[in-house]
Structure 1
Amino acid sequence: MFRVGMLGTENSHALAFAKEICFKEEYKDFRITAFYALEKAPSEAIIEKCDISGAVIVDDPLDMIDMVDCVIVTNRHGKYHESCALPFIEKGKPAFIDKPFTIDPAEARNILRTAKEKHVPITGGSGCKYSPQILELKKMVEDDAFGKIYSGVMNFPASTESEYGGLYFYASHLVEMTLAVYGMDMKAVSAFINNGHITAIAHYDKYDITMQFAASKKYISVIYSENDVDVRYLDMSGIFTTEFDHFVKMVRTGKSPLSEEELLMPVLVMNAIEKSIEQKKTVKIDR
C-alpha cells in the first residue's frame, strides 16, 4: 500500500487526483493518508466528496512526513511548491509537483538537484502536454511527417494579473504543449502585451512558433509546413487521468516519466517570457 500525502488542496486539481485514487479499482494500492493546505476547508471538502476515512489534516507539511510514502503537491501558487515538496524528496519520497513546477528557476534547479542526489523520482507540470492531439503532433514532428515546418501557432489562456503568481499560474499549460510538440531546444522568446492579451514567439533554429495566451474557450494548434497546413482542436478531457497514471507508474517502478529538462524548461521559458514583456525585447532562454 502506497500512502499519499496531498499538499495544496485549495486547487481543483487536488480533487481530480483524489477521485482517481478513491474511485478507480486499478489504484487500490494507493490511499490518501494526509492533507495540508493554508486553510482546512478544501481538505475537508475532498474528504467528504471522496468519502475518505482515516486521513488526517495537518497544520504543517512536516507533520505528515512519517505518514506518507509519496506526495502530490498542487498549491495554486507556485511559490509554495519547493517548500512543500523538498522535505519529502530529501526523505526519499517520490513527488508530483503540479504546474507551475516552480516560479523560480533556482528553486526548480534545487528540486531537481536534490532528487538526483537522493535518487528520488519526481514528475509534474501541466497535464495539457498529455492531450491526445499534442502527443500525436509530437510524434509527427519527431518523425518529420510534416516535412519542412515553416511556423506554428497554439493557444491557451494566461494572464499576468493572476493573484497566484501572475503569468506563471496558467502559462505553463501552453508553454509545456509547445515544448512537447516542437522540442526542448527553444532558444529565445519575444513577448508582448496588446490590449491585455499576451503573445509570445518561441524562437527555434528552424522556425518560430507563436504562443497565443488568448482567453478563448477552445484550444487549437496550427502547423504551417511544406506538406500541408495542419489544423486541429485540442481535447483536454482526459489529461488528469493520463497524468495521474504516469505518477502511479512512477511510484510503483521508481522511474520518472519526465527528464530533468522536461521539468526545468517550462520554468525557464516562462521566466524568459516575463522578462521579455518587462524589457520589451527578445530574451534568450537561460539554460
Structure 2
Amino acid sequence: MPITPCPWNSEVETMKKVVILGCENSHADTFLKLIQTGNYPEIEVVGVYSDDRAAAEKLNAAFGVAVMDRYDQAVGQVDGVMVTARHGDNHLKYAAPYIPSGVPMFMDKPVTVKEAEAVAMMEAMKAAGVRVTGGSSCRHIAEVETLKAEHEAGTGGKTLGGFVRAPISLKNDYGDFYFYAEHLVDILMEIYGWHPESVTAFQKGEKITVVFHYPDYDVTGLYVDGNYTYYAARHSEEGIHGEILDVTGASPCFRLEFEAFYDLLLGGEQKVKYEDFIAPVFAMNAICRSLESGKTEKLTEYEVK
C-alpha cells in the first residue's frame, strides 16, 4: 500500500523519497529536524518505522511523517533508505528488502553485530550497486579529521601510538556492549587505519581498556560506562597532539554524517570501501573475544566478494 508523504518539502519538482527505519533512535529525530530546516529541499521523508510503534508515532506527532506498518512497506517507492535502529541485529533485516533496488543507504552504528551479517550485507549491496554511508557520527568530528591528516602526513615525525576515549553502555536492550562500542572504534580506525591486526582487552569495573595492535605501533582505547567524555590523541616522534572531542547536540558531526547520505542521494560516489565500512564490526567482535579469553585476539579475516 502506498504511503502518504510528509507535508514539507513536497513542493520541489524532483524529490528524493526516503524512509527512516528503526526510528526509536534519537538520530531519526535529529535527521528529521535537519530536513525540516529546508536546507535539503530535494528530500521527502515518506515514512518512518520502528518495532516500537510509539516511537514512530512520536515522530508523526512532531514532524507529520507517515508511520509505516511494516519495515518493507516502501520497497519500490523510495530513492533512499536510512536505517537508524538502535539494535544492530535489526540493520540487515530492515535493509535487505530494499537492497535489490540499488538505492543509496545510511546505516547507523553498529553497522551489524554479527560478522557474517556484515559480510552478507556488503556483498548484497556491492552486487546491487548500493552506495552506503554511516557508522558513527564521530568519524566526522573536525579534530578526528585533523589527527587523521597528521597521521597520514607524518606531522611531527612517524606515529608512535595513540589514545582514544569514548563512552560505553554495557547493559541495555540493544546488544549491550555493541550498542555504543562503534563510536570509539570508528574514531580510532578513522585516524589510524581500518585494519588493526589484533586486540587485547581487559575490564576493571565500569572501564574497558583495549589495545589495538597495528604492525608498527599500538593504540589504546578506553571505554567508560555511562561517562560521556570523548578524547583522541596521536603520539609522534616530536610530541603529542590530543583534543577533547565535541559530541554534544551542537556538534556539526551529525549534520556532516547526514550530508554524506545526502550526497549519495544526489548521485555522489561512496567514500568508504565496502571492506572498510564493516571493519568496526570485526574489531568489536575481537574485543569481546579478548574479554572472554583474557588473551590477545586476532581480527577475523574476511573478504567482500
Shorter chain as denominator, the TM-score bin is over 0.9
Within the candidate set 215, 222, 225, 2:233 is matched to 222
Within the candidate set 276, 279, 285, 1:271 is matched to 285
Q: Is the 8 A contact 2:79 2:104 kept in 1?
A: yes
Deviation at 1:254, TM superposition (A): 4.8
1:47 aligns with 2:57: no
Structure-2 separation of matches of 1:137 and 1:24 = 33
**1:203 is matched with which residue?**
213
**1:231 is matched with which residue?**
242
**1:251 is matched with which residue?**
265
**Counterpart code for 1:267:** V
**1:38 is matched with which residue?**
51
Using the size of structure 2 for normalisation, the TM-score is 0.89
Q: In the TM superposition, what whole-angstrom CA distance separates every residue of 1:203-233 from its partner, at most 9, and x where no partner exists?
A: 0111111100024332212222211121211
SS in 1 for 2:175: coil
Percent sequence identity over aligned pairs = 35
Structure-2 separation of matches of 1:48 and 1:240 = 23
Task: Structure 2: state its 5+ residue gaps.
Answer: 1-14
For the aligned residue pairs, the C-alpha RMSD in angstroms reads 1.3
Structure-1 separation of matches of 2:38 and 2:155 = 37
Within the candidate set 31, 35, 41, 1:21 is matched to 35
Greater fraction of residues in helix: 1
Structure-1 separation of matches of 2:50 and 2:70 = 8
Count of aligned pairs between the two proteins: 283
Q: In the TM superposition, what whole-angstrom CA distance separates every residue of 1:54-101 from its partner, at most 9, and x where no partner exists?
A: x43122112121332211001110000000011111222211110000
Structure-2 separation of matches of 1:225 and 1:268 = 27
**1:193 is matched with which residue?**
203
1:168 aligns with 2:178: yes
**1:8 is matched with which residue?**
22
SS in 2 for 1:253: coil
**Counterpart code for 1:152:** G
Deviation at 1:266, TM superposition (A): 0.4
**1:121 is matched with which residue?**
131
Q: Is the 8 A contact 1:73 1:98 kept in 2?
A: yes
**Counterpart code for 1:210:** T
Structure-2 separation of matches of 1:105 and 1:196 = 26
Within the candidate set 178, 193, 199, 1:183 is matched to 193
Deviation at 1:262, TM superposition (A): 2.5
SS in 1 for 2:235: strand
Task: Structure 1: state its 5+ residue gaps.
Answer: none
Q: How does 1:84-163 map to 2 (within 5 A)?
A: 84-163=94-173
Structure-1 separation of matches of 2:164 and 2:108 = 22
Q: How does 1:56-95 map to 2 (within 5 A)?
A: 56-95=66-105
Structure-1 separation of matches of 2:229 and 2:283 = 23
Structure-1 separation of matches of 2:127 and 2:143 = 35
**Counterpart code for 2:259:** D
Deviation at 1:131, TM superposition (A): 0.5
SS in 2 for 1:147: coil
SS in 1 for 2:195: coil
SS in 1 for 2:74: helix
Q: Is the 8 A contact 2:126 2:274 kept in 1?
A: no
Q: Is the 8 A contact 2:60 2:67 kept in 1?
A: no
SS in 2 for 1:173: helix
**1:280 is matched with which residue?**
294
**Counterpart code for 1:227:** E
SS in 2 for 1:201: strand
Structure-1 separation of matches of 2:198 and 2:90 = 27
